[in-house]
Structure 1
Amino acid sequence: MSTKQQPTSPGSDVDQRYAVYDERKRKRMISNRESARRSRMRKQQRLGEMIGQASQLENENNLLSQKINDSTQLYLGVASENNVLRAQLAELTDRLRSLNSVLEIVSEVSGLVVDIPDIPDTLLEPWQLPYPIQPITASADMFQY
């Protein structure tokens, strides 16, 4: 009984090594492709998140800009009204001075003693309050935000 053993040829051993090397290379290529695909998916997802965040920030920015514009308009309205009131104060103070001058002349001419009140400093310096500080009532809709 003779069993024949197949002689191992040097070429078949080398072929087997190349086959193992080629299999490793093929697996590595597949792994790299899958890794690249996952990386592209993460990148795309991150890009989508950033676009969404940019859109949200733009909306918030527009809202804040609108609030700033509204506040600026309100400020300009109040400043304008304040200027009108200051002009009225100046005009009324001048009128009061004129009336006091007339009363002084009438008092001198008629000989009657007329009590002429002094112009309060608060009219000359409106930032100083003539009375103890009293609360100023305002409605909630006075300032619209």
Structure 2
Amino acid sequence: MASPGSDGDLRYANLDERKRKRMISNRESARRSRAKKQNRLDELLGEISNLQNDNNTIMKKIDGATHMFVGAASQNNVLRAQLTELTDRLHSLNSVLHIAQEVSGLTMDIPEIPDMLLEPWKLPYPIQPITASTNNINMF
């Protein structure tokens, strides 16, 4: 027959063994959890890097488009100023021709100034829309 003390020791040994196995299991679970968190963090950092690169690319495209717009707007202003100057010259030349016609008594064919020169916003042809091709734009 076994002594009462040795039976208690065996019970504590089993209890200690279960505790030790649980600790090992908990440690392994914690290690897997930390590895999973690290992998997720690495994925997110990679995604951040990709998004920042995409954002930089888009910002460069926006800067390029803005630069082109400013250039076109500037050129448009120059052309409008030239249109105004040439229209004024045409008015002056027509006035000179009218005076010459009155003084000389000769009949001259003096063309009228077309309305499109006086009101360039009323163009005689429809404005063509500017379309962008998706083939040339790589967003991502």
- TM-score interval, smaller chain: 0.7 to 0.9
Report the equivalent of 1:33: 27
Report the equivalent of 2:16: 22
Q: Which runs of 5+ in 1 are unaligned?
A: 1-5, 136-143
Rg bigger for which structure? 1
Q: What TM-score comes out, normalization by structure 1 length? A: 0.83
Match of 1:67 among 61, 71, 81: 61
The percent identity for this pair of structures is: 65
Deviation of the 1:52 alpha carbon:
1.0
Deviation of the 1:133 alpha carbon:
5.1
Match of 1:53 among 47, 55, 59: 47
Q: Distance in 1 between matches of 2:24 and 2:93?
A: 102
Q: Distance in 1 between matches of 2:123 and 2:68?
A: 25
Q: How does 1:99-114 map to 2 (within 5 A)?
A: 99-114=93-108
Give me the CA root mean square deviation.
Answer: 2.0
Deviation of the 1:134 alpha carbon:
9.5
Shift in alpha-carbon separation, 1:16–1:134, aligned structure 2, 3 A: closer
Q: Which runs of 5+ in 2 are unaligned?
A: 129-135
Larger relative contact order (Cα-Cα within 8 Å, sequence gap ≥ 6): 2
AA in 2 matched with 1:36 = A
Q: Distance in 1 between matches of 2:80 and 2:102?
A: 33
AA in 2 matched with 1:115 = D
Deviation of the 1:37 alpha carbon:
0.5
Match of 2:118 among 124, 129, 133: 124
Q: Distance in 1 between matches of 2:126 and 2:3?
A: 112
Q: Distance in 2 between matches of 1:76 and 1:128?
A: 23
The answer to whether structure 1 residue 94 and structure 2 residue 68 are counterparts is no
Q: Distance in 1 between matches of 2:126 and 2:49?
A: 49
Runs of 4+ in 1 over 6 A off after TM superposition: none
